[in-house]
Structure 1
Amino acid sequence: MGSKITLRTVEAAKPSSSDFFIWDTEVHGFGLKVTKAGKKVYVLQFRMGGRGTPTRRHTIGTHASPWQPGDARNEARRLLEQVKSGVDPRKVEQERQRQEVDLRFDRYVQSFLESYAKREWGERTYKTHESNIRRWLVPVLGMRPLASIERRHITETLDKVPIHSPALRRDLFKLIRRILNWAIEQGDLNQSPMVGMRGPSKIAPRNRLLTDQELQVILAHTHEEPEWAIWGPFIRLLLITGQRRGEVAGMRWEELDHNEKVWTLESKRTKNQHVHQVPLNDLAIIELDILGQGAAWPRRGAVFQHKPETSLAGFSKMKARLDRIIGEADLELKREWRLHDIRRSFATGLQRLHVRMEVIAALQNHRSIHSGKTTEPYHLHDWAPERVEAMQLWADHLKALVAPQEPLELDATSAAGK
C-alpha cells in the first residue's frame, strides 16, 4: 500500500483487524504503521547492505507532537544518510536510551561516589557528601539525564535549603559543580550548565568563644542525669581534647593507648586525611578509665555508643537538653553556642596560655600555619613534646576552673566500681 504520507493520509487511516503499513512514495522506506488498536507510528525500513541482507525496521515516533508527517519524513531522510555511511539507526537509538539511563543523575552519582569520591575523599568528607547527595540533590535532579540539567534546576535544588543554613547551600553548590566537572573529565558531558554561574555568597567566619565562666557552667552540668553516662563524658572529652565532634563521637578503643597516653586517628578518620596523634592528659585518662570501667581498657569497639556497634547520634537533641538543664539552674549562657565553639575555645584558650601557634595547629591537625609548596618539605618537626606539655597545661587550666565543684577530679577506680 503506497501513497505520499500527508496529514490527510494519516488522519484518514482507520484501524483494521490487523496491523498494516502505508509506504511513502517520496522517501523510500519511510512509512506509517497503523495498529489494530488505532495507534499510528512513523517507521523507517532499510537494509544495512545489498538485497541479500535482512530488512530492518526502526521506529521514528508516534504520530503526535512533535512528529507530524513532514518532520517524520525529514527524520527518515537523515537516518537514511546514516545507513549509507554504515551506521545502524537502531543501534544509535539503543545507545541513546542506554546513556539516558546510565547518565541519569541518580544513577550517575553512584558511579561518581564509587569511582571518584571513595578514592579522593576522607571517610568523614565522604559520609557528609554522600548524605547531602541523597538528601538534597537526588530528590530534585535524580531523574534528569546529565545533559538535560539546566541552571534553573540547580537553582531549584539550592532553593530547597532552609534559609538558616547558608553554609549548606554553598557546600551543595560546590558539590554539584564537582560532580558535573567530573562528568566532563570522563567524557560523559560536553559542558557544565554551571559555567559562569555565581555561587552563594561566602559565609562570615564564626568567632563565638566560650568564656571560662561559660565553660564552668557547661562542665558543671554534664553530670546531671543518668542518661548523661554517655553524653557527659562525650562533652567533657570534646573540651579536654579540642578535637572535632565526629572524631570524638567515633572514637574507638583500638585507637587508644593507655600506656603511651595517646589517641591515634587513622587518615580515613580525619578531615585532612593525615594520621593524627592526640596526647591524652590526666583528665582524658580519668574520663576514659571511667568509660572503660578501669585502667584495662577494652581492646576494640566504639567508646561512645547507645547500643552495641551503633554510632553516636542525636547531637541536636542532646545539645537542646543540656541548654534546658542549664536554663533550669538559672545559669543560661550569655549567647547562643554550638558544640564546635568548644573546639575554637580550646584553641584560643591555649593561645591565652602562651602556647605556640604551631603547637596549637598540630594539636588540632591543621596543616602548619607556615605551610606551602616551597616551605612545607622543610618544616618536619611534629611538635610531639610540646603537644604533650600543652595538653597538660590545658588540663591544669580546666581543673582550676572547676575547683569549687571538682566534677573532673573523680577517682577513676572508685567511679568505675560504682
Structure 2
Amino acid sequence: MSLKAARDAADNFRANRTNILSERARNAAARSDTFEVVAERYLKRFVDGKRRSGPQIRKMVEKIYPVWGKKPFESIRRSDVSKLLDDIEEMRGPRAADVTLATLRRMMSKYAVGQDDYSSPIREGMARIENPSERARERILTDEEIRVLFTACEGQGVFGNFVKMLLLTAQRRIKVATMSWDDLSGEVWTIATEEREKGNAVRLKLPKLALAIVEAQRETRTNNYVFPASFKTSRVDPRRHYGSYSAFGDGKAALDKAMAELLPNIPHWTLHDLRRTARSLMSRARVRPDIAERVLGHAIPGVQGVYDRHAYDLERGQALTALEALIARILEGKAGNIVPLIRAKRP
C-alpha cells in the first residue's frame, strides 16, 4: 500500500469508525454462530411450511445436532462432513447419507450467499451412491414377505397398523401418517392437499381391511390423528401433546427385528417399497394401469391427463378392493397368477 493510500484509509476509518466497527462486530458474531443456530435459521426461512417434505427435513437435520449442534458453523471441514456421512451410511444406509448430504449442500450454499469469504466444505464425489441410475429402486416384497410383514405388525401397535395401511392404500408415508379423523367420512378418506403439491389420490373409498385398522385406532384415540405419535413433542399444539406418527426409524427397526425372527435374512426394504409393492399387486389384480396410477396420485401424462376431468372415485375404490382381495389371498397362502375379477357395482 502506498503512503497516500494508507493515509486515505486512515482518514476513511476515522470518518466512519462507528459504522466500520459495528460491521466488524456483526461479522464476528455471524462467524461464531453454531451449526444449530445456522440450521434453525435455514429451516425457518426455506423449509418450515414451504416444502411438502419440511417435517422430514427438519427431523433429519435435528439428528445432526448431537454431533455438530454446538460446533461453529464455519469450523466444519470436509473431514467432518465425510465422517458424518460415514456414520449415517453405516446406521441407515447410503440413500439416507446422500439425502443428508443434499440438505447440507443447500444449507451451506444459502449461508455462503451472505458471506464474503465462506467456502462450503462439500465437494463433488462425496455422494455415497456414485451412479445416479442406482438410485432407482426395484424392491418389492414377495408374497412370503407380505405374510411375515402382517404377522410381525400384530405386535407393533400404532406403527404396525400404520405399515399395513401403507400397503392397503398404496399412499405415501406422510399422507398416511397425517391422516386425521376429520379427513374420514364413512368409508371415504379425503386426502389433504398441500400447497405446491403435484397431485394425490384426492378421495379413496377404503376397503374392509383398511376400515378395520381405522376402527382399531379409534379405540385408542389420543388426538385428531388416526396414527398419533407415541411421545410428546414441542413442535405441536401443547394442549394436544401429541402429533402425527413420526418415529419411523425406531418403528421400522423394531419391525425388522420381529420379521427376522419369523423369516431370517430378509433383504433390506424401506417403507416406500410398500407403495411400489402395492402398485405391482394392482397389476397382478388386473387393475387398469391408468386407474392404478390414479390411486397412487400420479399425474396422468399426455392428452388424457389434460382433457379427461372425470373424478374416477368409483374406479379408485374398486382398485383398492381388488388390491385388498389379492392381499387377503396372499395372507391365506392362496394367491397365484389368476385373481378373481370383482364385479363392478352400479353407481
Query: TM-score normalised to the size of structure 2?
Result: 0.71
> 1 CA distance for matches of 2:289 and 2:54?
29
Q: 1:309 aligns with which of 227, 242, 245?
A: 242
- Deviation at residue 219 of structure 1 after TM alignment: 2.6
Look up the match of 1:110: 40
Aligned residues: CA RMSD? 4.0
Q: Please tell me whether residue 322 in structure 1 is matched to residue 258 in structure 2.
A: yes
* Bigger strand share: 1
Letter in 2 for 1:174: A
CA positional deviation for 1:315 = 0.7
Alignment of 1:353 onto 2:285? yes
2:209 alignment partner in structure 1: 283
SS of 1:94 mapped into structure 2: helix
| Alpha carbons 1:209, 1:341 under 8 Å: kept | yes
The structure with the largest helix share of the pair is 2
Q: Match of 2:274? A: 342
Once the two structures are TM-superposed, the CA of residue 80 in structure 1 deviates from its matched residue by 5.3
Distance (Å, rounded) in 2 between the aligned partners of 1:78 and 1:152: 41
Q: Is the counterpart of residue 101 in structure 1 residue 32 in structure 2? A: no
* Offset of residue 289 of structure 1: 2.5
CA contact (8 A) 1:161 1:169 kept: yes
CA positional deviation for 1:84:
1.9
Q: What is the rounded CA distance, in whole Å, between the counterparts of 1:154 and 1:334 in structure 2?
A: 31
1:82 aligned partner:
9
Gaps spanning 5+ residues in structure 2: where? 232-240, 335-347
CA–CA distance in 1 between the matches of 2:223 and 2:65? 37
By relative contact order (CA 8 Å, sep 6+), the higher-ranking structure is 2
Aligned equivalent of 2:343? none
1:197 partner letter: E
- Unpaired runs of 5+ residues, structure 1, are 1-73, 406-418
Q: How does 1:250-269 map to 2 (within 5 A)?
A: 250-258=178-186, 261-267=188-194
Instruction: For residue 350 of structure 1, report the CA deviation from its aligned partner.
Output: 0.8
Instruction: Give distance in 1, aligned partners of 2:99 and 2:270.
Output: 19
* Greater gyration radius: 1
Aligned partners of 1:105 and 1:138 also within 8 Å: no
Give the deviation of 1:207 after TM superposition: 2.0
Question: Which residue matches 1:389?
Answer: 318
Partner residue, 1:212: 143
Give the secondary structure class of the aligned counterpart of 1:267. Answer: coil
| Secondary structure, counterpart of 1:358 in structure 2 | helix
Alpha-carbon distance in structure 2 between the residues aligned to 1:298 and 1:138 = 33
- Asked whether the 8 Å contact 1:242–1:346 carries over to 2, the reply is yes
Aligned length: 313
**TM-score with structure 1 setting the length:** 0.61
Identical-pair percentage: 18
CA distance in 2, matches of 1:78, 1:134: 49
Does the C-alpha gap of structure 1 residues 174 and 302 become closer, same or farther in structure 2, counting only changes over 3 Å? same
- Looking at structure 1, the residues matched to 6 and 96 of structure 2 have their Cα atoms a distance apart, in angstroms, of 47
Measured in 1, the distance between the counterparts of 2:112 and 2:299 equals 31
Q: Is the 8 A contact 2:165 2:210 kept in 1?
A: yes
SS class of match (1:162): helix
Matches of 2:60 and 2:153 in 1, distance apart?
A: 32
Letter of the structure 2 residue corresponding to residue 282 of structure 1: K
For 1:304, what is the secondary structure of its paired residue? coil
Partners of 1:100 and 1:145 within 8 A in 2? no
Quick check: 2:82–2:126 contact (8 Å CA) kept in 1?
Answer: no
Deviation string, structure 1 residues 54-83 (Cα, Å, up to 9, x no partner) = xxxxxxxxxxxxxxxxxxxx8x99775334
Verify: 1:235 aligned to 2:163, yes or no. yes
SS of the residue aligned with 1:278?
strand
Q: Is the 8 A contact 2:141 2:274 kept in 1?
A: yes
- Quote how far apart the aligned CAs of 1:375 are: 9.2
